[in-house]
Structures are given as C-alpha cells and as structure tokens.
Amino acid sequence: MAFSLCSTKTLLLFFLISAIPVAFIISSELAKPPTHVASARSPSPKITDRHRKRLFLKEVTVVKDPALAGNSSLGIVVDRPRNRLLVAISDLLGNKYNALAAYDLSTWDRLFLTKLGGPDNEKAFADDVAVDAEGNAYVTDAKSNKIWKVGADGKFVSFIRNPLFIAKEWYKNLIGLNGIVYHPDGFLIVIHTFSGMLYKIDVTKEDHEVKLIKVAGGSLAFGDGLELLSPTKLVVAGNPSGRLVESLDGWETASVVAKFKGPAHRLATAATVKDGRVYLNHLLGMGYPKKQHALVEAVFYFLRGEGNLNCWF
Ligand SMILES: *[C@@H]1O[C@H](CO)[C@@H](O)[C@H](O)[C@H]1NC(C)=O
C-alpha cells in the first residue's frame, strides 16, 4: 500500500510530465471527471489520514517528525492488531538514509524508528511496506532490489534477496521492487516497477521462498502501489492508473482482467480499498489552479466477458 508522496518515480516521470503541454493539464483539470474525485488541498506533503481525506475535502497532518526532516514518507501500512501505522522513509535524492517508522494510531507517538542499512553503503531506496500477521514489516528497496524484514518490536531481522528480483536489462532496475502487500494466506505479493514482474514470497518458510507469478492478459510494467481487493483480486496502481489482476490458484498464476484509466496527466501511485471500493491516489500534476491531491475512484472496465461490463466496487 504505497502512499508515495515523493519517490524516484517522481524524478523520472517529471521528464515525461513536463513534456505534456500546460494547456492540456489545465483543461483536464477543469474538465468534469468521469468518476467521483475527492480532492484535498495539501498544506505540506506529510503523512495524513487517507480515509478522512476521502470523506471530507480536508487534509489533516497527524505526524510531524522533526527528526526526519529532509526525508520523504513513502509507503504506509496500517497494522490494525497493533494499532499502529508503519511508514517507509527515504531521502529522495541522496539514497543515503532509509528507515521504517511506527506511530501509534491513537496518540500518534512514534513507537520506533529503525534505520535500514545495507552492506558496503549500498544505495537504497525504501519504497513501500507491508505487515504480516505477526507484525513483521517488509520494506521494499527500489534501488538495490532487496526487502528489509523488521520484527514487530522494530528490530531489523534480515534481508530478503533473490536473483529473480533483478531484471536482465540494467535500465529496468532503475526502479525495481516497489509495491508490496501481505496476503492473508501467509505470503507477500511484490511488484518490480520497470519490468512488471510480480512475485509471491512465502514468509511462513524460513528461507522466504520467492516465486515469479505468471501473469497473462497484459503487462504490469510501471505498476507501483499494490492493494488487495479480495484474496483473489489485486489492484495495481501506476500507469495506466489502475489494473485489476486476478488469481484463482493462490497466486501461482494471475491475469490482468480490467484496467482503469484515470486523469491522463496525473500519475497514480497508490491504491486503497475501503468498503469494497477502490481509490487511486494520484501524485503528479498537483492540480490547477489549486495545489491538490486527487483520489479517484477506480471503475474497472473488464477486458473479457460479455461486452463492456462496467464494474463498480
Ligand atoms: C533524514 O533523517 C535522518 C535521521 O534523522 C537525518 O540524519 C538525515 O540527514 C535526513 N536526510 C536528509 C536528506 O535531510
């Protein structure tokens, strides 16, 4: 569940975005959106309560952590059983500081801040985080294609590395492991952004067995945030804004069954599921004339089946 406010993708995609004529941005912004759009004016890019943002057109800053000034908050995940919010933190430009922070959901006190390192000062970029049933957190490193495992107490446990995490073409590793979700059956689903590879990682096994999920029906390249809609359905935010992926065999194989194309000039970086509805968080094209974040409800157009079935979740 990435809530990317700033990330490597931003930098790379700025090149693409800046090529889009401003006039187009303005007209898209003023045009009536095809689906429900909830906007929230943003005073500053900090961690906020996304659900509140959806319901009211107001954004509330709940955490201001001066110790982390200069860094960006990336993926977040709510760890309900432990009443806390886990946040992946990284310094966007330097790739020198990476951490996992946990905040109490009632008091917003910081519970722990764990610095995430690597061997030989390897460049790293903490991008997204998922939490398993025991409270272990898994943070993806989009730069060096590894996963940090951090225990429920905030202590670093181990790295998960695998040759499958590395794309063959060097440039496809510029943005690697990114969105990550924990499946209630005891495994992680992780996406490699530039290659579109999707992995299943069994965390019940000591060696964290990694498998490539065979995906049919389309590519998942430029997939960013992931969110499970149900145990068999996964939303992939990115470009295109939303893709719906389904697996009927416990995520050994999967297929792209629907796509959602949101505002063209904005970049969807995260998906959230609330009450069975999918919301995509858009990062770029911060709004015109006012600086806004946009959460767009995703309506998936099914690619197969009887004609053009519009499915509202
Ligand atoms: C990120 O936070 C760490 C920890 O407080 C700090 O040492 C570092 O300077 C910060 N990074 C930037 C780019 O400000």
Q: What is the CA radius of gyration of the chain?
A: 18
Q: How far is the CA of 107 from the centre of ligand 1 (A)?
A: 24
Q: Name all domains of the chain by residue range, CATH numbers in brackets.
A: 8-311 (2.120.10.30)
Q: How far is the CA of 95 from the centre of ligand 1 (A)?
A: 10
Q: What is the structure's pLDDT at 252?
A: 97
Out of 72, 91, 115, 116, mutate this one to test ligand 1's pocket (max ligand atoms within 8 Å of CB): namely 91
Q: How far is the CA of 83 from the centre of ligand 1 (A)?
A: 26
Q: Nearest residue CA, atom 12 of ligand 1?
A: 70
Q: What is the structure's pLDDT at 75?
A: 83
Rounded distance, CA 260 to CA 279, Å?
Answer: 11
CA distances for 193 relative to 112, 223, 225, 275, 309, angstroms: 29, 5, 9, 27, 28
Q: Nearest residue CA, atom 6 of ligand 1?
A: 68
Out of 64, 97, 112, 113, mutate this one to test ligand 1's pocket (max ligand atoms within 8 Å of CB): namely 97
Q: How far is the CA of 144 from the centre of ligand 1 (A)?
A: 20
| Percentage of the chain modeled with pLDDT above 90 | 34
Rounded distance, CA 227 to CA 235, Å?
Answer: 5
Q: How far is the CA of 71 from the centre of ligand 1 (A)?
A: 6
Please say whether the dihedral angle defined by the alpha carbons of residues 211, 268, 86 and 77, taken in this order, is positive or negative. negative
Please check the confidence at residue 292 and state whether its pLDDT lies above 50: no
Q: Which atom of ligand 1 is nearest to the CA of 91?
A: 13
Q: Nearest residue CA, atom 13 of ligand 1?
A: 70
Q: How far is the CA of 91 from the centre of ligand 1 (A)?
A: 7
Ligand 1 surroundings by CB, under 6 angstroms: 67-68, 70-71, 91, 94, 97
Please check the confidence at residue 106 and state whether its pLDDT lies above 70: yes
- DSSP state letter for 194: T
> What is the residue whose two structure tokens read 């992946």?
88
32 phi and psi angles, rounded to 5 deg: -70, 125
Q: What is the mean pLDDT of the chain?
A: 73
Q: How far is the CA of 229 from the centre of ligand 1 (A)?
A: 35
Rounded distance, CA 295 to CA 260, Å?
Answer: 13
Q: What is the structure's pLDDT at 70?
A: 79
Task: Answer with the residue of higher pLDDT: 167 or 134.
Answer: 134
Q: pLDDT digits over 41-90, tens only?
A: 444 333 345 443 344 344 556 677 777 877 777 888 889 899 998 988 88
Out of 64, 65, 68, mutate this one to test ligand 1's pocket (max ligand atoms within 8 Å of CB): namely 68
Q: How far is the CA of 46 from the centre of ligand 1 (A)?
A: 15
Q: pLDDT digits over 203-212, tens only?
A: 998 889 999 9
Q: What is the structure's pLDDT at 254?
A: 97
| Identity of residue 100 | L
